[in-house]
Amino acid sequence: MAATAGAADPELPALPEEIDPERLHGLSEAELDAAAAALQAAARATTAAMAPYERHLGEARSRLAQIATERRRRERAAQVAQRAGVREGAKSGQMPTLAAALAGDATIDGDTPLTAVHAFLGTGGEIGFGFATRPGTIAFSDGRQQAQARTWGEARELHARGWDPGTPGIPGVRIHLAGTRVERVVGPEDVVVRVD
């Protein structure tokens, strides 16, 4: 039985008439070879009919890949420009270090959660405070005790009491690179904050 095409489908090459499974038992080797050859010819014709569509699909995919490449290029250029802006802001003093900001050189509202404070490494990479899985905290220690600040005001208050960023035995600020799970502890002078 020949295959039939739907109304909206392109016309497909016809298939040879289907052989009933019971009839297959009675066919000679030559008849089986002929049936197989007819089906192979239909398969080749179908492949040939698909070739323009495959080329068309390949061209569409190539163009989509070009657009994706351009988007990635623009994202990289924006990241490079942002990093350069951060480095320039850090050099010029427009973006104080975390140490200077905690000492009072930044006008950040005390109720601002640390997740909303825009912070960067001095090299320009954006960071978040705290663990990647539990962001938005800065640990402070007096050498024996430890406390967690979750807002800018809490961080300033702990700093004003003489507590330093870090935990007993591990000085520094735990940060994670924005959008990643990469974490490290850095000195408060290695982090700059944007004061909007």
Q: Which residue has the higher pLDDT, 89 or 144?
A: 144
Share of the chain above pLDDT 90, in %: 57
Find residue 170's DSSP bridge partners: 167
pLDDT of residue 7 exceeding 90: no
pLDDT of residue 176 exceeding 90: yes
Find residue 151's DSSP bridge partners: 113
Q: Do residues 164 and 149 lie in contact, with contact meaning Cβ atoms separated by under 8 Å?
A: no
Q: What is the predicted pLDDT for the residue at 22?
A: 85
Q: Which residue has the higher pLDDT, 107 or 154?
A: 154
Strands (E), the chain: 119-121, 126-129, 138-141, 146-149, 164-167, 170-171, 173-177, 183-186, 191-193
**How do 191-193 and 183-186 pair as beta strands?**
unpaired
- The CA–CA distances, whole Å, from 75 to 78, 81, 82 equal 5, 10, 10
- Band (pLDDT 50/70/90 cuts) for residue 19 is confident
Is the pTM here over 0.75, yes or no? Answer: no
Q: What is the predicted pLDDT for the residue at 1?
A: 42
Amino acid at the residue 187: G
111, 122, 103: which is closest to 194 by C-alpha?
122
CA 118 to CA 164: how far, in whole Å?
A: 20
Q: What is the predicted pLDDT for the residue at 89?
A: 73
Mean pLDDT computed over 156-180:
92
Q: How many Cα atoms occupy the beta-carbon half-sphere of 80 within 13 Å?
A: 6
